[in-house]
Amino acid sequence: MLHLGDLTSAGKDHADTYPSDWQQRFATLAETAQDPRLKAFYAEGTLSGDSALHTVPMAALDVETTGLDPLRDGIVSIGIVPMSIRYIHSSRSCYWVVHPHVELTPESVTIHAITHAQVETAPDLDVILEEVLQALAGRIIIVHCRDIERRFLNASLRSRIGEGLQFPVIDTMELEARLYRKPVSLLTRLFGQRTRPTSIRLAASRARYGLPRYRSHHALTDALACAELLQAQVAHRFSPDTPLRELWS
């Protein structure tokens, strides 16, 4: 995903609030969604928060964007990697370059290496939407910084089909934030030694678990990197029997 600076707002979604009962939310959305592709996605349902992690089908998701404002910027690529906490199914991965319908800036091209020529011949998100939703349907979605994937997909669909997209996620950045973004007491702020916050970006988080460094800002590679990071986090800090509700949002 496009990281311009350290996105330390992990764990803070935009103004929308998300339910504790995602099964009920999906059942409601399956009835109320107008677009048949969305209806089919919601009709697949989702799991109970009581489900043990080892029983949960997952898909790691990453989007590359032209910037960080979902109302002004657009999606240029999407990567999806099916997985579980035990296996990563790389051979079933999906990757799309997408026409963002906004101008690429030199800065964004430098970061994600997707050029004007590539997006000019790329399909609109609306054209590939059914494929994207089919790759995600019935799975818990794994991301690193939920504000990016949730907000961009929601805004992109609203501008195209008049309906947004809702889904539960496990956010590997938020899981790192639980360790490294704890509130600091007043006494510590007044008298404690000032230290630079520990980075919870994807590469830095992976390094703490001894995972190899990959090329950043390629949607498929970042999705794979996120999948591996979650597996490491579960292995070190949780267990296969941890209920889904302890990690998702």
- Domain ranges across the chain: 22-246
Amino acid letter, residue 149: E
Provide the pLDDT for residue 183: 65
Q: Which amino acid is at 45?
A: G
CA separation (Å) from 161 to 41, 70, 103, 126? 15, 16, 21, 8
d(CA 139, CA 132): 12
The CATH number corresponding to 22-246 among 3.30.70.270, 2.60.40.10, 2.40.50.100, 3.30.420.10 equals 3.30.420.10
Contact present, 10 and 177 (Cβ < 8 Å): yes
Which single residue is written with the structure tokens 């950045």? Answer: 173
DSSP strands (E only) in 31-186: 58-65, 75-83, 94-97, 140-143, 169-171
Which amino acid belongs to residue 101? H
Q: What is the pLDDT of residue 151?
A: 97
pTM: 0.90
Q: How many helices (H) and strands (E) does the chain have?
A: 10, 5
Sheet of 58-65: strand order equals 94-97, 75-83, 58-65, 140-143, 169-171
Pair 113, 150: CB distance under 8 Å: no
Each residue's pLDDT, cut to its tens digit, for the chain (249 residues) gives 544 443 433 334 443 567 889 999 999 999 999 999 999 999 999 999 999 999 999 999 999 999 999 999 999 999 999 999 999 999 999 999 999 989 998 999 999 999 999 999 999 999 999 999 999 999 999 999 999 999 999 999 999 999 999 999 999 999 999 999 876 555 555 666 667 789 999 999 999 999 999 999 999 999 999 999 999 999 999 999 999 999 999
